[in-house]
Amino acid sequence: MSTHHVIIRIAGQGQFKVNSEILDKINEIDNSIVDLIENVSLGSSDHKVTQKELQSKLTEMKNLITSNGEPIDDKEIIESDVIVPDSDLSIEDASKIFKEEGIISDD
Amino acid sequence: MGLLNRFHSIFKAKAHSVADRFEDPNEMLNYSFEKQHELINKLRRDITQVVTSKKRLEMQKAKLSTNIDTLEQQARRSLESNREDLARVALERKNMLITQIKELERHIGDVEKEQIKLENAERRLSTKIDEFKTRKEMIKAQYSAAEAQVKIKENVTGISEEMNDLGMVLNRVEEKTENMKAKASALDEMVDSGVLTDVTQSYSSGSTDIDQELDKVSLDSSVDQELTKLKAQIGKT
């Protein structure tokens, strides 16, 4: 099977062209984030610990992308296939995303 | 559905809403241009604000450092006059200021990070805006009306994604700058009201409590000296 590329944006940092194999690893981390947030909404976890874990997962994701991907030229105007939040995303904002509340302000 | 999918759909919805709002590609372009310029101007204003905040923090740091020097001199003078109690007060204040300075340094580091983030964003967006201008002319010239509409829509969506991303960065930075400003004002107030240290006033409004005590000590000792001198003179005659 030949590999293809996906365009990933890291929020606040720009876009990267990444081998699709990396995407599988990213999806694994994404699934573990889902579990983490679920625990928060169930109230069964310490807020500070969860925040730290979320940030370390997002940082792992970011490092995976930046070390395996190729930054896309600033001149490129292209839609991303995947958008990854910045690693300083707060648990509150992450929960808002799950509740599908807006985190981008309206113009 | 994972975090990434949900996060992405928020972006997508926003990006496509611009492209879907207009059927006429010219209107779509005009609207998009207007938004791009609004955003880049806002971005530049925010960079100025962040730079101002950083300068303010650096000035506070410089002010506190001067106070530390003063307190150290006062502690030395106190000891020379055998006033260990005063020396202790001066050193306690000095340590308090050192803690404050460390905190300020941390804030300055944070602000610097924000500044770099915004400057990178500014560079990226202005490059994209220039490219967008060039592309739309090329698209209009090379494609049929229907094809051009599709291509322009793609570009508007692409640049909208970038703008949404930037909008989020800006909101965050604005929030952080506001917090920082509040903290800086609180620190100014503390210094001004003397909670942090009375010594900071020594340069503007004369002597401080420690200075006054020290003056009294030296005054007393000079009176003593004069008395001894007088006594000696009287004894001589």
Q: Which residue from A minimizes the CA distance to B31?
A: A107
- The continuous run of DSSP H or E covering B214 comes out as helix B209-236
> DSSP assignment, residue A45?
S
Convert the pLDDT of each residue in A2-42 to its tens digit.
568 999 999 988 999 999 889 889 999 998 888 888 877 67
Tell me if A27 and B169 make a contact (CB, 8 A cut-off). no
Any bridge partners for residue A5, and if so which? A19
Residues on chain A touching B154 (C-beta within 8 angstroms): 79
Same domain, B133 and B213: no
pLDDT of residue B86: 85
My answer on whether B91 and B147 are in the same domain is: yes
Mean pLDDT of chain A: 84
In this complex, is the C-beta atom of B36 within 8 Å of any C-beta atom belonging to chain A? Answer: no
How far does B98 lie from chain A, in Å, by closest CA?
A: 28
Q: Please indicate if any CB of chain A lies within 8 Å of the CB of B21.
A: no
For an interface test with B, which of A74, A86, A98 has the most B Cβ atoms less than 10 Å from its Cβ? A74
- Identify which has the larger pLDDT, B233 or B132: B132
B87 pLDDT band, cuts 50/70/90, is: confident
Answer yes or no: is B182 within a domain.
no
Please check whether residue B122 is in contact with residue A40, taking contact to mean a CB–CB distance below 8 angstroms: no
Mean of per-residue pLDDT scores for chain B: 82
Cβ-nearest to B2 among A34, A76, A103: A34
Q: Say if B30 falls within a structural domain.
A: yes
- pLDDT band at B126; cut points 50, 70, 90: very high
Q: Is B73 left (phi over 0), alpha (psi -120 to 50) or beta?
A: alpha
Please tell me the predicted confidence (pLDDT) of residue B43.
92
Tally of CA atoms within 13 A in the half-sphere of B169 that contains its CB: 30
Residue B155 touches chain A, beta carbons under 8 Å: yes
Residue B174 falls inside a structural domain: no
pLDDT at B200 over 60: no
Q: Where is pLDDT greater, at B20 or B170?
A: B170
Q: What is the pLDDT of residue B122?
A: 92
What distance, in Å, lies between the first and last C-alpha atoms of chain A?
44
Segments forming the whole domain that contains residue B213: 204-236
pLDDT for B237 beyond 50: no
In this structure, are B11 and B102 located in the same domain?
yes
Residue B93 shares a structural domain with residue B27: yes
Question: Could you tell me if residue B180 is inside a domain?
Answer: no
Instruction: Kindly state whether residue B179 falls inside one of the protein's structural domains.
Output: no
Average pLDDT of the residues in B31-53: 91
**Alpha carbons B29 and A63: distance in angstroms, whole number:** 36
- pLDDT for residue B184: 77
A97/B6 touch (CB, cutoff 8 Å), yes or no: yes
pTM, rounded to two decimals? 0.74
- Average pLDDT, stretch B111-129? 91
Residue with the bigger pLDDT between B24 and A62: it is A62
Query: Long-range contacts of range A104-107, CB-CB < 8 Å, 24 or more positions apart?
Result: A104/B10, A104/B11, A104/B14, A104/B164, A104/B167, A104/B168, A105/B167, A105/B171, A107/B35, A107/B167
Cα–Cα distance for residue pair B50/B42, rounded to 1 Å? 12
Please give the pLDDT value at position B21. 82
Same domain, B154 and B209: no
User: Do residues B137 and B62 share a domain?
Assistant: yes
Assess whether B16 and B126 both reside in one domain: yes
Q: Residues of chain B with pLDDT > 90: what percent?
A: 19
Judge if B88 and B151 occupy the same domain. yes
Calculate what percentage of chain B has a pLDDT beyond 70: 84
Q: pLDDT of A34-72, one tens digit each?
A: 888 887 767 667 778 888 999 999 999 999 999 999 999
Is the Cβ of B122 closer than 8 Å to some Cβ of chain A? no
Looking at the fold, whether B74 and B145 belong to one and the same domain comes out as: yes
Mark yes or no for CB contact B165/A12 under 8 Å.
yes
Whether A85 and B3 lie within 8 Å, measured CB to CB: yes
* pLDDT for the residue B6: 84
B193 inside domain:
no
Q: Are residues A107 and B35, on separate chains, in Cβ contact within 8 Å?
A: yes
The yes-or-no verdict on residue B233 having pLDDT over 50 is yes
Structural domain includes residue B105: yes
Instruction: Answer yes or no: is pLDDT of B203 > 80.
Output: no
In a domain, B170, yes or no: no
The whole-angstrom distance between B19's CA and the closest CA on chain A is 13
Q: Residue A79 and residue B154: Cβ atoms within 8 Å?
A: yes
Residue B194: pLDDT band with limits 50, 70, 90? low
Mutate to test the interface with A, among B5, B7, B159 (most CBs of A within 10 A): B7
* pLDDT value at B236 more than 70: no
Residues in chain A within 8 Å Cβ distance of B11:
80, 83, 104
CA B110, CA B33: separation in Å to the nearest integer? 32
B148 vs chain A: nearest CA distance in angstroms?
15
Domain count, chain B: 2
Q: Does B29 contact A at CB distance below 8 Å?
A: no
Q: Given a cut of 60, is residue B201 above it in pLDDT?
A: no
Q: How confident is the model at residue B204 (pLDDT cuts 50, 70, 90)?
A: very low
Would you place residue B131 in the very low, low, confident or very high pLDDT band (cuts 50, 70, 90)? very high
Mean pLDDT of A87-91: 85
Q: Look at residue B205 in the predicted model and tell me its pLDDT.
A: 44
